[in-house]
Amino acid sequence: SYELTQPPSVSVSPGQTASITCSGDNLGNKYACWYQQKPGQSPVLVIYKDNKRPSGIPERFSGSNSGNTATLTISGTQAMDEADYYCQAWEGSTGVFGGGTKLTVL
Amino acid sequence: QLQLQESGPGLVKSSETLSLTCTVSGGSISSSLYYWGWIRQPPGKGLEWIGNIYYSGTTYYNPSLKSRVTMSVDTSKNQFSLKLSSVTAADTALYYCARRVTTSGMGFDYWGQGTLVNVSS
């Protein structure tokens, strides 16, 4: 079965750039999505089709996908961005989530 | 504004069948533009895709759960449902329903608040 691998945790200082990676076999040949989940809340889609932002998602969120790795980049990270982030892709009609990355802003 | 609301028993006995319903408001489940999905999250753990259903009743299931999962849709009630049979403690989780646009590369853009299901022995 297809698997997506994320680092368990990433730390970033306020105002700096955070990068969260998601690795999978030939992931660059699929589309990647990213979700943000804050404690006690439902996930929120922040990136779809590798690098598209839904309405209402700040411009500081961006994405890329090439080779075996998709990357979520948060520029000028703010305290409010502290959350768990999940990548997700479709292997045919089967959905796959990464294990999640806890982003700490300190 | 589209809203999704999960409902169902919060406690299911081991070996029995978990049954949940998602009620969609503010939009039609019969639209050809969307899939409707179930995703779960065990306490303190990550997200797991369970499956998607189209308004026509076409289903797509996680291979690891396929033998135990049944999804259905009731367009007259604007609802879709999940049944998971032979549950064990490993099925204890927060269960979310969500919407996904059918276009390739799209994610789940609307989510319910989730409903916690505990499996007891």
Spatial distance between the Cα atoms of B94 and B14, rounded to a whole number of angstroms: 17
Cβ distance of A86 and B114 shorter than 8 Å: no
At residue A83, the pLDDT reads 98
Q: What is the mean pLDDT of residues A26-49?
A: 97
B111 near A CB under 8 A: yes
3-state secondary structure of B107: coil
pLDDT digits (tens, 9 = 90+) for B52-75: 999 999 999 999 999 999 999 999
Q: What is the pLDDT of residue A75?
A: 98
**% of chain B surpassing 90 pLDDT:** 97
Residue in B62, B105, B111 nearest the CB of A42: B111
- Which residues in A lie closer than 8 A to residue B113 (C-beta atoms)? 42
Read off the tokens for B59: 């289903």
- pLDDT at site B110: 98
Residue A57 is predicted with a pLDDT of 98
Per-residue pLDDT of B21-37, as tens digits, reads 999 999 999 999 999 99
Q: What angle do CA B47, A13, A51 make, to 5 degrees?
A: 50
CB contact under 8 A, B104 and A96: no
Quick check: B96 pLDDT over 90?
A: yes
Select from A44, A54, A97 the Cβ nearest to the Cβ of B46.
Answer: A97
Kindly determine whether residue A42 and residue B107, on different chains, have CB atoms separated by under 8 Å.
Answer: no
Residue A28, SS3 per DSSP = helix
Q: What is the 8-class DSSP label of residue A54?
A: P
pLDDT number for residue A24: 97
Q: What is the pLDDT of residue A74?
A: 98
Q: What is the pLDDT of residue B90?
A: 97
| pLDDT reported for residue A10 | 98
Rounded to 5°, angle at Cα A39 from A37 and A40: 100
Residue A57 corresponds to which tokens in the numbers above? 């998602």
Report the pLDDT averaged over residues A40-66: 97
Compute the distance between CA of residue B34 and CA of residue B24 in angstroms, rounded to an integer: 12
Q: Residue range A11-33: average pLDDT? A: 97
The secondary structure of chain B in percent helix, strand, coil, rounded to multiples of 5, reads 0, 55, 45
pLDDT of residue A51: 97
The C-alpha atoms of residue B84 and residue A23 are separated, in whole angstroms, by 30
pLDDT, mean of residues B85-107: 96
pLDDT at B121 over 90: no
> How much is the mean pLDDT over chain B?
97
Residues of B in contact with A97 (CB under 8 A): 39, 46-49
* Residue A23: burial class (beta carbons within 10 Å; 0-12, 13-18, 19+): middle
| Cβ pairs bridging A and B (under 8 Å) | 66
Minimal CA separation from A47 to chain B, in Å: 8
* pLDDT, chain A, mean: 97
